[in-house]
Every structure is written in structure tokens, then in C-alpha cells.
Structure 1
Amino acid sequence: MFPLFVELLPMILGNILAPLWLIIVLLLLASPNGLLKASAFVLGMTLTRVAQGVLFGLVLGSSDKAAEGDGLVAATLKLVLGILLLIAAFKKWRKEEDPDEPPPKWMQSLEQATPLKVLGIGALGIAIGAKLWAFTLSALAVINEAGLDRTDAIIAYAGYIFFAQILLILALLFAAVAPKQSQSVLQRANTWLTTYNRPISITVTLVFGLLFTWNGVSAFLGG
């Protein structure tokens, strides 16, 4: 399982290092009834990722039927992901609007949203994010290529979801365990992330775009 985790690590880091989702969770935590709304937002994200796993046959499929073409699928997804990330990095560098990111007014409106609405926003955010789809599809392809049985495949994908959202989960736990102490810490973290959102996003997107493009091209050349 450890070698599989190493293969999944780039996809996990790509999710972890995207500042937008943590900024939204921190913004929700600072709002009235914040812990409930932030938890609903993360739950919505999780439900969509679970649905993606079911939709693409990870849960219902059998690794015994894995085809030799799984490696080609994984390589193709990595190459597509790399190209998408490079395009996104270029657009952000040129200060063009990224369609995966909501506008500031949209983010500010979250403070007045109900927990149910926030749950839907979290689910929709994952569903319409092209780069997030690419990360998840790449992770699914890697897991299927590993030839695990159904139970181990489910555990592996659940682990991917958990670690992809680990910073969000830690923020929720911190706010739940130490609500008073967490306010100033989370506020400073939100201010820092908001200030450096653009350079962080450009750097992360460029690095992972190059990484996945190289991995995809190498897999094709090696095949």
C-alpha cells in the first residue's frame, strides 16, 4: 500500500496546496455558526468525491478485471492534467480569470449562507473544478492500475480523499477543540493565504503541471 501512496502523493499535494478551499473554510469558520457551515462545506466536497469514485467504477468494479490498458489511461490522464495545469498557471500569471475560482463577492456571500446551501456549494465546487476532476481521475487511474481487490481499492480511495482534505479537516478540528484560541490563529492564516493566494497558486500549478506533463510523456515514451 505504501508504494501506491507514493504514486498518489502528487495528486494529494496538488489538492492540499491549493489555497482557495482552505481560504473558504477559514472564512466560514469566522462567520456566525461557522463550525457547522464549514463542516457542511467539507462534507459537500467529500460527497462529490465519493460520487466520483462510484461513478468511475472504483467501488463497484473488480481489480481482477483490470485491463492492460489501465497504464495507458493513467498516462493519458496525467498528461491531460499536466497540460490543464500549465494552461491554468499561464492564465493566472497573465491575470486572467480562472473559471475554477469563484469571484470575491461570491466568497463574501458565504458568510450569510445557510449550512445546507454551503453543503451544496462545496459539492458543486468539486463538481465543476476541471483541475480537481483531473486530480481525482488520475488518482482513480493509479489505484485501478495497482490491481487491488475491491476492499483495498475503497480504502485507498478513502485515504486519498482524507489526505486531499487534511488541512480543511485539521482546521475544523482546531476550531472544534479550541474555539477561542483558534480564532486569532485561523484569522492570521486566512489573511496570509488571501495575501499570497496568487503567487502560491501560480507556483503550485506550474510545478505540478510540469510534473504531470513529464510523467505522462515519459509513460508514453516508455510504453
Structure 2
Amino acid sequence: MGGVIGEILPLALGVAISPIPIIAAILMLLSPNAKTTSVGFLVGWIAGVVIAVVAFTLLSALLPEDDSDASKPIQGTIKLILGVLLILLAAKQWRARPRDEVAPELPKWMSAIDTLTPVKGLGLGVLLSALNPKNLIMAAGAGIAIGGGDLGTGQTVVVIVVFTAIAASTVAVPVIAYLAAAERMAEPLEALRGWLVRENTVVMAVLLLVIGVVMIGKGLGSF
């Protein structure tokens, strides 16, 4: 189980370091309905992560079994493909980085965050976590690792919980901190939001490149 957890850790971090949902969570915390909407968003984010990783773990069981004492070409090929996709996403993010001090454009739906209800916040959390292409690639890599790890049911649950806890941490921390100390968190959250708005494409490009290269390395090592 330890080896599988080690393999999914960078993938979970890849989901966790997602500036757009963190920005969305912060905007909710600075909105009139801060507590209810942000909690709904956090629940939706966690649910989306669980749905994605469980789905890919179950799908990995449909793959033909490799010889446990030899190479694993099927898993290796899938990891290579996922790694290449991550590098392509990294290149796309890098090209989209702001230049000449131009303010980065954020998704238009963010302007409506002040009007979100808890239910809509929950739905947005699910959409951003479960249907984001980058997160789907990370979840697919984790699912392949978990499904191919020869784990028992209990161990599989533990690994999925670890993946989810790490993947959801960056959204959970500001929400929980705000609920614990709303007045003191407003200024730090605004400062964090500003930094993420400026640097989100660069952060994502570097992160995706690193994880993509790691994924390709693991794929080559499976042959």
C-alpha cells in the first residue's frame, strides 16, 4: 500500500494545486453568503474528486492483467499517454500566461459567485473537480495506480481517502480557516486571491510539466 500511496501523492498534489477553484472558494468566502456557499462548494469539490478517482479505479479493473512478475506494458502505455497529455496542457497554460503586466482574464462565471446558493456552490464544486480535464488525467493516473496495486478493499479505501484528503486540502484549508476566524482571514484571503490571479497559469504550467515528466518516467519504467 505504501508504494501505491507514494505513486498517487504527486497526482493528488496536481489536483490540489488548482488556482481557479481556490480563487473561486476565496471569492465565495468574501461574498455575502460566505459560510453556506463555501461549505457547499467544498462538499461538491470533495464529492467530485471521490467520484473521479473511484470511477477510474473501477475502470482499471477492466484492463487485461499484466504478469505481476514481468513488465506491465498496458499500464505503462496508459501512463505514457497521460504524461504526454499533461505536458501538452502545460504548454497550453504557458502560452496563456499574461504578458506585459496585462491583468489575467478570469472565467466569466466568477462574476456571478456573489449570487450563488449553497446548492449551486455544491454543483460548481463537483463540475470543477470531476469534469476538469487536468483533474481527470490526474484521477486516471491515480485510478490506474490503485487498481494495479493488488490492494484489498480496505487498503483501496484508505488510499482513496488519502488521495482525496490531499486533493481537497487547498480548498478545505481556506474554508475551514474562515469558518474558525472570519474577521482575521479576510485580508490574507484577499492577498492570496490576488497572487493566484496573477500567477495561476505559470503555477499550473510548471506543475503539469513536472508531473507529466514523472508520469512518462513511470510509464517507461513499466516496460
Q: Is TM > 0.5 for Structure 1 vs Structure 2?
A: yes
Asked whether the 8 Å contact 1:73–1:141 carries over to 2, the reply is no
Superposed counterparts of 1:52-71, under 5 Å: 52-56=52-56, 58=58, 67-68=65-66, 71=72
Q: Among all aligned residue pairs of Structure 1 and Structure 2, give the percentage whose two residues are the same amino acid.
A: 27
Q: Given the alignment of the two structures, is residue 86 of structure 1 paired with residue 87 of structure 2, yes or no? A: yes
Match of 1:162 in 2: 165
Cα separation, partners in 2 of 1:143 and 1:129, compared to 1, 3 Å: same
| CA-to-aligned-CA distance 1:15-72 (integer Å, 9 cap, x gap) | 122222211111111111112212211211222233334434649x7xxxx9337944
**Does 44-53 or 104-113 show the bigger shift?**
44-53
**Distance in 2 between the 1:56 and 1:199 partners?**
28
Cα separation, partners in 2 of 1:50 and 1:201, compared to 1, 3 Å: closer
SS in structure 2 at match of 1:67: coil
Asked whether the 8 Å contact 2:49–2:167 carries over to 1, the reply is no
Match of 1:29 in 2: 29
| CA-to-aligned-CA distance 1:128-173 (integer Å, 9 cap, x gap) | 2122111111111111222111111012101101111112111111
Asked whether the 8 Å contact 1:79–1:217 carries over to 2, the reply is yes
Cα separation, partners in 2 of 1:72 and 1:171, compared to 1, 3 Å: farther
**Distance in 2 between the 1:206 and 1:110 partners?**
31
**Does 72-81 or 141-150 show the bigger shift?**
72-81
Match of 2:100 in 1: none
**Distance in 2 between the 1:144 and 1:72 partners?**
15
Match of 1:113 in 2: 116
**Distance in 2 between the 1:157 and 1:82 partners?**
21
Match of 1:99 in 2: none
Asked whether the 8 Å contact 2:26–2:189 carries over to 1, the reply is yes
Cα separation, partners in 2 of 1:94 and 1:52, compared to 1, 3 Å: closer
**Does 69-78 or 124-133 show the bigger shift?**
69-78
Match of 1:182 in 2: 185
Asked whether the 8 Å contact 1:81–1:131 carries over to 2, the reply is no
Superposed counterparts of 1:186-201, under 5 Å: 186-201=189-204
- TM-score where L is the length of structure 1: 0.84
For 1:4, the aligned partner's letter is V
RMSD of aligned Cα (Å): 2.5
SS in structure 1 at match of 2:96: coil
User: Could you list the runs of 5+ residues in structure 2 that have no partner in the other structure?
Assistant: 98-104
**Distance in 1 between the 2:200 and 2:53 partners?**
29
| CA-to-aligned-CA distance 1:48-105 (integer Å, 9 cap, x gap) | 233334434649x7xxxx9337944432332222111111122222229xxxxx9532
Asked whether the 8 Å contact 2:77–2:219 carries over to 1, the reply is yes
**Distance in 2 between the 1:112 and 1:72 partners?**
50
Q: What is the aligned residue count?
A: 211
For 2:135, the aligned partner's letter is L
Asked whether the 8 Å contact 1:11–1:135 carries over to 2, the reply is yes
Match of 2:17 in 1: 17
**Distance in 2 between the 1:200 and 1:48 partners?**
22
Cα separation, partners in 2 of 1:37 and 1:53, compared to 1, 3 Å: same
Q: Given the alignment of the two structures, is residue 3 of structure 1 paired with residue 3 of structure 2, yes or no? A: yes
Cα separation, partners in 2 of 1:200 and 1:39, compared to 1, 3 Å: same
Cα separation, partners in 2 of 1:155 and 1:95, compared to 1, 3 Å: same
Match of 1:76 in 2: 77
**Distance in 2 between the 1:73 and 1:183 partners?**
49
